Amino acid sequence: MYDIASIYQAVSVADAIRALEADPSALVIAGGTDVLIKIREGKLAGCRLVSIHELGEELSGVTQAPNGDIEIGPLTTFRGVTFSKIIRGNIPVLGEATDQAGGPQLRAAGTIGGNVCNGITSADSASTLMALDAVLRVRGPRGEREVPISQWYKGVGKVDLAPYELLVKIVIPRDNYEGYAGHYIKYAQRSAMDIATLGVSCLVKLSGDKKVVEDAALAFGVAGPVPMRATSAEAAVRGLPVEQAVTAIGKAALEDVNPRTSWRASKEFRIQLVEELSGRALAEAARRGGAAI
Ligand SMILES: Cc1cc2nc3c(=O)[nH]c(=O)nc-3n(C[C@H](O)[C@H](O)[C@H](O)COP(=O)(O)OP(=O)(O)OC[C@H]3O[C@@H](n4cnc5c(N)ncnc54)[C@H](O)[C@@H]3O)c2cc1C
């Protein structure tokens, strides 16, 4: 039984924003895979909901703008991201990440927008979106604004969404993906239907001869209270031969992270995962980019 006081089915983004303004205590529901769990657990019992679930025409799908930027509608399901031809052809690492959330049913219902708006450090798409320096376009009663993902996370479960605002687009600027190869590793206690003990996403751009790391982006989930970039590690490997970079990146990443102990794993184990998986993620990304490693 779900204890829901009311649910309003919005017919457009403008209508959803109006409905939220008219009912300030109402909560947005998209795929509902986070919200409904909380309602069932009693944490949101008796809540009022504004559903954007039927706004697929405005809020779902992946497109490529004339300038090459890739735009993802927040209502696109995990599955929709993974199977998008545009994602497969340009940013396969993002599809690799969304393909590791939950199981097949969850991936057909949960949306990438919900995954970004829930503000959770273990969100499987979040570290790759951090590595890609995604830009989040939000719309509210006063119009649209863009938030770099580096400024999005404000604390556990808190993101930079003002009252009555909706996430309406996730933009991946062309310069942030073109020429990069990537790899996402989710370490979990089992291979499906489990939240990440640690998630690591690495993007790498190699020199023309594929021997040197020209640029790298490394980001983690569950290495701190919110998804995070490992900027010291990135700086440490820029300009290094690939094999040296693979050896160096894990130790350097320890400067950046701040994991905690939870029932899933101890802080010490997560630190070990950060060190080991950073090297593995970089090695596989470099291999995909053409390095002989
Ligand atoms: C069995 C199960 C397994 C799971 N496994 C994983 C997993 O392995 N990895 C993982 O990352 N997650 C997992 N999840 C969590 C969940 O599926 C994801 O976080 C999913 O992306 C949430 O999307 P949703 O559309 O269902 O969000 P909803 O539940 O509809 O919403 C989530 C939050 O985002 C807000 N929101 C949603 N869309 C918008 C928008 N466009 N604008 C503003 N606010 C918005 C809502 O108000 C709410 O606060 C799992 C959940 C379940 C139930």
Q: Which two tokens stand for residue 159?
A: 């993101």
19 touches 50 (CB < 8 A): yes
The pTM assigned to this predicted structure is 0.97
Average pLDDT, the chain: 97
Q: Beta partners for 63?
A: 71
203 touches 284 (CB < 8 A): no
The CA distance from 87 to 93, in Å, is 8
Among 40, 118, 191, the mutation site with the greatest number of ligand 1 atoms within 8 A of its Cβ is 118
Distance of CA 125 from the midpoint of ligand 1 (Å):
11
Fold of 61-174: 3.30.465
Please tell me the predicted confidence (pLDDT) of residue 204.
98
Using CA atoms, how far residue 158 sits from 70, 180, 196, in Å, is: 25, 30, 19
Which residues are CB-neighbours of 18 under 8 A, at least 6 positions away? none
2 touches 44 (CB < 8 A): no
67-93 pLDDT, tens digit each: 999 999 999 999 999 999 999 999 999
Please tell me the predicted confidence (pLDDT) of residue 231.
98
Q: What is the pLDDT along the chain (293 residues), one digit of tens a residue?
A: 789 999 999 999 999 999 999 999 999 999 999 999 999 999 999 999 999 999 999 999 999 999 999 999 999 999 999 999 999 999 999 999 999 999 999 999 999 999 999 999 999 999 999 999 999 999 999 999 999 999 999 999 999 999 999 999 999 999 999 999 999 999 998 887 899 999 999 999 999 999 999 999 999 999 999 999 999 999 999 999 999 999 999 999 999 999 999 999 999 999 999 999 999 999 999 999 999 98
Nearest CA to ligand 1 atom 37: 114
Please tell me the predicted confidence (pLDDT) of residue 290.
98
Q: Which two tokens stand for residue 120?
A: 């959770």
Residue 112: strand, helix, or coil: helix
Classify residue 68 by its DSSP letter.
S
142-171 pLDDT, tens digit each: 999 999 999 999 999 999 999 999 999 999
187-208 pLDDT, tens digit each: 998 887 899 999 999 999 999 9
Closest-lying ligand 1 atom to the alpha carbon of residue 166 = 42
User: Closest Cα partner for 59 from 92, 29, 35?
Assistant: 29
CATH 3.30.390.50 fits 181-288, yes or no: yes
Please tell me the predicted confidence (pLDDT) of residue 191.
80
Helices marked H in the chain: 13-22, 35-41, 56-59, 78-82, 85-90, 92-98, 104-109, 112-117, 126-131, 174-177, 231-237, 242-253, 267-288
Q: How is the chain split into domains, by residue range?
A: 4-51, 61-174, 181-288
Residues with CB under 6 Å of ligand 1 are 27-35, 37, 52, 74, 101-102, 106, 110-111, 113-115, 117-118, 123-124, 161, 166-167, 193, 195
Using CA atoms, how far residue 228 sits from 81, 115, 122, 251, 256, in Å, is: 22, 15, 11, 16, 8
Distance of CA 113 from the midpoint of ligand 1 (Å):
7
Q: Which two tokens stand for residue 3?
A: 């204890």
